[in-house]
Amino acid sequence: MTAQILSELLAILGPQGLISTPDEMRTYENDALTNFRVMPEAVVLPTSTEQVQAVLRICHRERIPFVARGSGTGLSGGALPVTGGIVVSLARMKRILEVDFENQRMVVEPGVINLDVTARVASRGYFYAPDPSSQSVCSIGGNVAENAGGAHCLKYGFTTTHVLGLEVVLADGTLVHMGSQTLDAPGYDLPGVFVGSEGTLGVATKVTLRIVKRPEFVQTLLAAFASTNEAGAAVSGIIAAGMLPAAIEMMDTLAIEAAEAAVHANYPPCGGLLLVELDGPVAEVATLMEEVAAICRANGTSEIRVSKNDEERMLVWKGRKAAFAAMGRLSPNYIVQDGVIPRTALPAILSEMEQLSAAAGLRVANVFHAGDGNLHPLVLYDRRIEGQEKAAEQLAERILELCIEKGGSITGEHGVGEEKKHMMGKMYAEPDLATMNRLRCAFDPLSLANPTKVFPRPRMCGEQPGEYKPHPIEIAGLAERY
């Protein structure tokens, strides 16, 4: 990057807003997927939409690729810098701009932390529903980029369900307002495609969120089973009974052990642990909880515990949410995988994973969002043992192939990013990917926004970028617009 461009950036952002020495940029070399690292040319930390626009205009003029970054907790390398590019950190744009309780909406800047959204409205009995396990540190902007989920999206939906509108700076610096405070803004559902686009369609600078009234009552049931098979059968029973719990989570022996070691959640030792949370009116939760317990008993549970208060409930969740990080207690290294299957394929994929694990001589711990078929297998390995890392990567990848074979997806919430882009061609056919690329080209014809991510190989956008061409009959005055 030339000194000229750096000084332009400095003029826009001031000394607090620009980092360009390798030492200081070390933090930005990677996100939470640490085996990929790229040193950026510069990191900018804008404090306003105008600064983001000014930076992207320079990028556009100079053809410099850029990568937007929130808290850097992403698990697929979405915020990994691009060679020769800059990182746009939104961490300093963290104001809550508007809270509208009457209409159950908020407007926040992208750097606001997920839990801080709820914290701001909790006193009036509201919360922000998407709850990724990293919610105490991850940012709304990152949640938007990844369409973050969480344990409770079974009932409440994903980030995309809770984003009503977005202020976005496009790759050429243009500012647009997608969606609206109100529903069904006329035109294409741009928030629908922007949320989950992994930073490839622009940079969000304001987000209008929906907030939800806290349910009257929340109760969590823990049920211990001999294996994940019985636990899985109980989940099927719950779904077949016509219930939609707020969350259904499952953990296997290894995951339970790790969570126990880390936070002493007091889980019963067993082969398959089910965690079912119901919420709603007290009277309804009470009735349905009895039904859930009956289904668990019918499937051979050895122990049932129903939370008696919020404290007990929080402890149960603490164990679950700590499960990934807790793996460090069982193994020096591990890969967090994220795949999805139709829920009914669970027994089949678990037994196949068991065989793969045995064949590779590697332990696999399992944590699932069992209600929606989202698996998080954790492949444990030791980098110091030659060949193990490679074997672990292969095993993790084979699990994704199994997910595809079962009619599922290579990612349920962590995103494609850098890590899984080579798997996209296994999940989608070439015309599918080419069609998605048309969308990308409409937003960013020069491929500057996080250009090397999501798709298996760089794609050019071809001719006719950007400009709208009127149809000949318009020119002839035979049809008019507006």
Task: Scan residues 262-281 and list those touching other proteins (CB under 8 A).
Answer: 280-281
What minimum distance in Å lies between the beta carbon of 444 and other proteins?
10
Return contacts of 242-246, CB within 8 angstroms, 24+ apart: 243/278, 243/288, 243/291, 243/292, 244/154, 244/155, 245/154, 245/155, 245/276, 245/277, 245/278, 245/292, 245/371, 246/152, 246/154, 246/155, 246/156, 246/215, 246/218, 246/277, 246/278, 246/279
Per-residue string for binding with other proteins, 282-301, x by CB under 8 A?
xxx-xxx-------------
What minimum distance in Å lies between the beta carbon of 379 and other proteins?
20
Query: Would you call 379 exposed, middle or buried from its count of C-beta atoms within 10 A (0-12, 13-18, 19+)?
Result: buried
- Whichever of 73 and 388 has its CB closer to other proteins, that residue is 73
- CA separation for the pair 221, 288 (Å, rounded): 11
Q: Which stretch binds other proteins (CB under 8 A): 18-26, 36-44, 91-99, 190-198?
A: 190-198
Q: Which one among 268, 271, 300, 466 touches other proteins, defined by CB under 8 A?
A: 466
Q: Is 420 near other proteins (CB under 8 A)?
A: yes
Q: Which stretch binds other proteins (CB under 8 A): 10-18, 43-51, 99-107, 110-118?
A: 99-107
User: How big is the site for other proteins, counted in residues (CB under 8 A)?
Assistant: 103
- CA separation for the pair 263, 44 (Å, rounded): 37
Q: Is 409 near other proteins (CB under 8 A)?
A: yes
Q: Which amino acid type is present at position 235?
A: V
Q: Which stretch binds other proteins (CB under 8 A): 58-66, 192-200, 259-267, 317-325?
A: 192-200
Site for other proteins in 144-183 (CB under 8 A): 146-147, 149, 153, 157-158, 160-161, 170, 174-178, 180-183
- Whichever of 92 and 214 has its CB closer to other proteins, that residue is 214
- CA separation for the pair 432, 281 (Å, rounded): 44
Q: Is 477 near other proteins (CB under 8 A)?
A: no
Site for other proteins in 213-232 (CB under 8 A): 213-216
DSSP one-letter code for 369: E
- State the chain's maximal CA–CA distance in angstroms: 78
- CA separation for the pair 328, 76 (Å, rounded): 19
Structure tokens at 197: 């686009």
Q: Is 330 near other proteins (CB under 8 A)?
A: no
- CA separation for the pair 37, 31 (Å, rounded): 8
Site for other proteins in 364-393 (CB under 8 A): 369, 372-374
Q: Is 469 near other proteins (CB under 8 A)?
A: yes
